Structure 1
Amino acid sequence: MGKIAFLFPGQGSQFAGMGKQIAEQETLAKDIFDKADEVLKFDLSKIIFEGPEDLLKRTENTQPALLTVSTAVLEVFKKHGISADYTAGHSLGEYSALVAAGSISFEDAVYAVRHRGLLMEEAVPAGVGTMAAVIGFDQERLEAITAEVSEYGDSVQVANLNCPGQIVISGTVKGVESAGSKAKEEGAKVIPLQVSGPFHSALMKPAAEKFAEVLSNITIHDAKTPVIANVTAKPVTSKEEIKSKLIEQLYSPVRWEETIRELMDSGVDTFIEIGPGKVLCGLVKKVNRRANVLAIGDMDSMMQALEKLKGESVDA
Structure 2
Amino acid sequence: MGKGVHDAFPEAREVFEQANSDLPISITELCFEASDERLLLTENTQPAILTVSVALHRILEARGLVPNWVAGHSLGEYSALVAAGALDVATAARLVHNRGIYMQQAVPEGAGAMAAVLGLERAEIDNLCARCGSDLIVEVANVNAPGQVVVSGNTEAVHQLIAMSKEAGARRAILLNVSAPFHCSLMQPAAERLARDLVEVEFEDPRFPVVCNVTATSIATGEAARLALEQQVTQPVLWSDTLEFLSEQGVEVFVEVGPGRVLSGLVKRTLGRGVGIYAVDEIEEIEAVLAALG
Please give the TM-score of this superposition, normalised by the length of structure 2. Answer: 0.97
CA contact (8 A) 2:60 2:66 kept: no
Residue in 1 aligned with 2:277? 293
Q: Secondary structure at the match of 1:39?
A: coil
Partner of 2:27: 44
Structure 1 residues 215-254: aligned runs within 5 Å: 215-254=198-237
Counterpart-to-counterpart distance in 2, 1:133 and 1:51: 29
Q: How many residues align?
A: 292
Write out per-residue CA displacement over residues 247-279 of structure 1, whole angstroms, 9 at most, x where no aligned residue. 110000000000000000000000000111111
* Structure with greater contact order relative to length (CA < 8 Å, sep ≥ 6): 1
Q: CA deviation at 1:145?
A: 1.0
Q: Which amino acid aligns with 1:82?
A: L
Question: Larger deviation: 288-297 or 250-259?
Answer: 288-297
Aligned twin of 2:12: 29
Contact 2:136–2:157 (8 Å) recurs in 1: yes
State the alpha-carbon separation in 2 of the partners of residues 105 and 196 from structure 1. Answer: 28
1:268 and 2:248 aligned: no
Q: Of the candidates 68, 76, 84, which is equivalent to residue 59 of structure 2?
A: 76
1:212 matched residue in structure 2: 195
Instruction: State the identity %.
Output: 40
2:286 aligned with 1:302, yes or no? yes
Alpha-carbon contact 1:108-1:219 (below 8 Å) kept: no
Q: Closer, same or farther in 2 for the Cα pair 1:150/1:59, shift >3 Å?
A: farther
Task: Supply the AA of the counterpart residue of 1:302.
Answer: I
TM alignment of 1:90-105, pairs within 5 A:
90-105=73-88
State the alpha-carbon separation in 2 of the partners of residues 42 and 63 from structure 1.
12
Question: Which residue pairs with 2:50 in the alignment?
Answer: 67
User: Residue type of the partner of 1:176?
Assistant: V
Name the SS for the 1:40 alignment partner: coil
Distance 2:133 2:107 in 1: 17
In 2: Cα distance, 1:226 partner to 1:309 partner? 20
Q: CA RMSD in A?
A: 1.0
TM-score of the pair, normalised by structure 1: 0.90
In structure 1, the residue matched to 2:3 is 20
Determine if contact 1:150/1:156 at 8 Å carries over to the other structure.
Answer: no
Q: How far apart, CA to CA, are the structure 1 residues paired with 2:56 and 2:238? A: 25
Secondary structure of 1:67's aligned partner = helix
- TM-superposed CA distance for 1:34, in Å, is 2.1
Q: Which runs of 4+ in 1 moved over 6 A?
A: none
Matched, 1:160 2:139: no
1:13 is matched with none
Question: Who is 1:9 aligned against?
Answer: none
CA drift of 1:197 comes to: 0.4
Q: Contact 1:88/1:97 (CA < 8 Å) preserved in 2?
A: yes
Give the gaps of 5 or more residues in structure 2.
Answer: none
